[in-house]
């Protein structure tokens, strides 16, 4: 009976069923999933007879109320009243999708940007295996120097206010169309990180080291150049979060500044109090030359301007694409 009901409704955009058993509710959801594998199913229920349906759907929403807590406990999300579904989808759902997909792509970006200079230096140094970063600073990159701003972004950044999102349901289509996370988006981020990392190595190693490596595959001033590349990466990655935020608050600005400041304090401390290290006193060597500041400014603003321009261009293209599909 359920199968014939689904066959009857294949040409419809909405499937409604009433007076069905808990098992049949789950069967309807499963058959819709099988016939539309590219779609995401959402099941909403408020009682024990809805548990099977909720667990069968991609996303289950339980309403806690007079009929008990069984549906809420079995669900992915729990709400108090049915009227909260609109707010959950169009406000929290839409913004969480945008922020989380950005965070995933950003994590790939900042780590590809970190390792790309290592790989490209391997080409220049005949793959000698030489480490160009300070290992202690390298270990703290994801944990300390670039961690907090992205956490704030994925928690508090807002593209639109709640009132605007509830009044303009078409803004929800970014999730339906996978606007912010798809193959082209992923490879675009990968491309950004690749050319930025390679350009850093080419410019910095060309200006701060000899033109050819020695017999060990190492350049003179290697550790100064490597530390300088790492410093530029920390600044660029933190600035990336700042320009990508739709809501640049004072707290976010302070977090970005603090992350960069903590890095430079750690850089100074590690290279100053270990005379036996290869990069001893590199901080003083770099920070006493005006060219160092000019190069940092060059990389930061050139990358920021290019990234911001390409980002807004992609947003406009996506908006045009969505409007055409709506028409």
- Of the candidates 50, 51, 44, 81, the one whose C-alpha atom is nearest the C-alpha of residue 66 is 81
State the architecture of 2-82 in CATH terms: 3-Layer(aba) Sandwich (3.40)
Contacting residues for 325 by C-beta, under 8 A, at least 6 apart: 173, 177
> Over the stretch 43-84, which tens digit does the pLDDT of each residue have?
988 888 889 999 999 999 999 876 778 888 889 998 988 888
- Note the pLDDT of residue 264: 92
- Note the pLDDT of residue 226: 84
- Tokens 């606007």 belong to 179
- Note the pLDDT of residue 83: 87
Is residue 59 within 8 Å of 18, Cβ to Cβ? no
- Note the pLDDT of residue 308: 67
- Note the pLDDT of residue 144: 93
Buried b (16+ CB within 10 A) or exposed e, 75-111: bebbbeeeeebeeebbbebbbebbbebbebbbeebbe
- Note the pLDDT of residue 157: 92
Q: Which residues of the chain have pLDDT under 70?
A: 1-15, 66, 208-220, 274-278, 308-327
Is residue 74 within 8 Å of 54, Cβ to Cβ? yes
- Note the pLDDT of residue 251: 93
- Note the pLDDT of residue 217: 44
Task: Quote the crossing angle between the two packed helices 250-272 and 148-156, to the nearest 10°.
Answer: 170
- Note the pLDDT of residue 216: 44
pTM for this prediction: 0.80
Q: How many CA atoms lie within 13 A of 286 on its CB side?
A: 31
Domain definitions of the chain by residue range: 2-82, 85-326
Contacting residues for 107 by C-beta, under 8 A, at least 6 apart: 150
């Amino acid at each position: 009976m359920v199968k014939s009901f689904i066959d009857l409704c294949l040409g419809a955009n909405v499937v409604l069923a009433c007076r069905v058993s808990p098992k049949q509710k789950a069967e309807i959801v499963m058959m819709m999933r099988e016939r539309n594998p590219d779609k995401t199913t959402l099941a909403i229920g408020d009682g024990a007879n809805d548990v099977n349906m909720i667990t069968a759907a991609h996303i289950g929403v339980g309403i806690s109320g007079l009929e008990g807590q069984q549906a809420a406990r079995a669900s992915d999300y729990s709400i108090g009243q049915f009227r909260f579904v609109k707010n959950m989808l169009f406000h929290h759902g839409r913004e969480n999708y945008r922020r989380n997909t950005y965070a995933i792509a950003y994590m790939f970006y900042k780590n590809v940007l970190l390792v790309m200079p290592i790989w490209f230096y391997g080409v220049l140094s005949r793959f000698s295996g030489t480490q160009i970063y300070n290992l202690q600073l390298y270990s703290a990159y994801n944990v300390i120097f670039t961690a907090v701003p992205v956490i704030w972004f994925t928690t508090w950044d807002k593209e639109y206010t709640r009132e605007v999102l509830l009044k303009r349901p078409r803004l929800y289509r970014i999730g339906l169309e996978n606007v912010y996370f798809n193959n082209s988006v992923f490879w675009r981020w990968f491309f950004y990180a690749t050319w930025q990392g390679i350009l850093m190595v080419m410019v910095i190693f060309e200006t701060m080291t000899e033109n050819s490596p020695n017999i060990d595959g190492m350049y003179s001033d290697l550790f100064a150049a490597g530390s300088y590349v790492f410093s530029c990466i920390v600044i660029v990655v933190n600035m990336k979060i700042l320009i990508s935020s739709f809501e640049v608050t004072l707290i976010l600005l302070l977090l970005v500044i603090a992350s960069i400041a903590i890095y430079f304090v750690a850089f100074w401390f590690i290279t100053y109090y270990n005379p036996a290290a290869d990069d001893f006193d590199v901080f003083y060597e770099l920070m006493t030359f005006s060219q160092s500041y000019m190069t940092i400014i060059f990389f930061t603003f050139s990358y920021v301007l290019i990234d911001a321009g390409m980002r807004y261009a992609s947003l406009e293209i996506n908006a045009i694409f969505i409007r055409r599909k709506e028409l």
